[in-house]
Amino acid sequence: TWPGIGVFAEFVFFALLIGVVNLTVSFVLALNVAIRSRRIRLGRLRSISGAFWQEVRQRPWELFLPPTTKPEKSQKPAQT
């Protein structure tokens, strides 16, 4: 006999949970490397965190959508 829909839902839930944990760990490790490379002290993290959440409350779409401004004509294209 085949397992029921409950087992399938359980598999889907745990697969999504693995993805969330993976994404969280990757983000924390990347943030840790960035903080260490900039030599940011713990006291400064509180103000950075506050500024981040203020930005999220004011303009959350900017975290997901690219900027709409076009580069100025005086700027040279990037060299490859």
Stretch 4-23: mean pLDDT: 96
Q: How confident is the model at residue 7 (pLDDT cuts 50, 70, 90)?
A: very high
pLDDT digits (tens, 9 = 90+) for 59-78: 999 888 887 777 677 666 66
Q: Give the C-alpha separation, 3 to 8, whole Å.
A: 8
The model's pTM: 0.55
More confident residue, 3 or 21: 21
More confident residue, 46 or 8: 8
